Structure 1
Amino acid sequence: MVDPDFFSSLLLIITINIVLSGDNAVVIAIACRRLPAEQQKKAIVWGTTLAVIVRVIATILAVYLLKIPYLYLIGGTILLWISYNLLREGDDQDDIDASEDLVSAVKTIVVADIMMGLDNVLAIAGAAQGNILLIVIGLLISVPLMVFGSQLILRVMERFAWLVYFGSGVLALAAANMILTEETVRAWVDPYPGLAFLVKAVLVLAVLLLGYRQRSKGKAS
């Protein structure tokens, strides 16, 4: 741990986490926005802790993850559903049991983090060069950053309710990027200039419009 290379690699891993964890903070904030104030911190802490544990394991197994066929396509599709589902859930559902809602929020945080964290996992695995201690320390240091960031976003969303659409759009864009990262999809899209942008725009707009429609129906009923 006194090796300068160790600290330079650790700094690189922390930087990667800061840069790539912005959208994770958004999904945490959206998932917790309907919880009572006293349960929001619990959901953030539990969800982030479990997500980091899963991410440490996934980073260690990153070499094997790369061998899973259509990994990015599957992950992107799941993330698209999460971004729509988070937007679809209206703020007026007061009949939901608080404990069930807490568990649901934690589940959403963990699943979304797994899907969104693939790039993060692979980047950290490369920076750590197989050093498991580096992986663990780097991720643990990044936890307070994710928790603080999600709490800040949550407070802003409470003040400006329309920001939930922005957050959902960010998640949908992350999902679209993942889908377009898939080798098979990229081979189909790359020959046509502008098609990648069109696919991203269509997916993001579809999520926002479907979510808005569903929320409007819920309020009307």
Structure 2
Amino acid sequence: MLQKNIGYRFNHLDFLYQSLTHRSTNLSHNERLEFLGDSILNLIISKFLYDEFLSKNEGEMSRTRSNLVKEGTLSDIANQLGIGSFINLGLGEIKNHGFLKRSILSNALEAIIGAIFLDSGSNIKTIENVIMNWYRNHADLINLSRDEKDPKTKLQEHLQKFHLPLPKYELLKSVGYDHEKQFTIVCKVFGFRKSDHFITIGTGKKYKEAEKLAAKHMFDKIVNYHF
């Protein structure tokens, strides 16, 4: 099940097992694989940004890369892949619900990257495909990486420039079980001359993701509007 979620079938399961073993177990743990995976991840994301964003300079690409490889982003991807329930933890971390900790989840994800790289015979193309599939399935990360500012911030600043009320966000619906919920958020902007208000909708697996996408759609909709 986990290998299916990850999108890679291991030739040597020992690599996978070690990547999921936390140092609290006092067994052969995943820290060396994590070190390797961290370097590989930065290389893959750097190449993606270099190829995708031709107009970005070094500083802009560095900031975007930091956002894409930060602990919170990696733990979100790890949760999406269902990695937490497979991590081997020591008794203390089990009691402290270590499988929910962002640091442990993100480290395990990096260790899995290192494990896949070694298991595939150090095939960089294989691990590149796996990583980019993770990010494409977490589509908001790729889409939102195109803008340095958070879409909600961009929308708010744009409206304030014209002395208009701040946008309102409302939950339209949430469907699915807790571990696979889908949120739909409505963004409303008022104060236009020719229309009472504009409405856009964003959908995502997290409430904030849905809000950001609704804000992005709104900004795209009104950026050329003549107030």
Q: What range describes the TM-score normalised by the shorter chain of this pair?
A: under 0.3
Query: Which of structures 1 and 2 has the bigger CA Rg?
Result: 2
TM-score, structure 1 normalization: 0.27
Structure with greater proportional strand content: 2
Structure with greater proportional helix content: 1
TM-score, structure 2 normalization: 0.27
Ranked by relative contact order (alpha carbons within 8 Å, sequence separation 6 or more), the top structure is 1
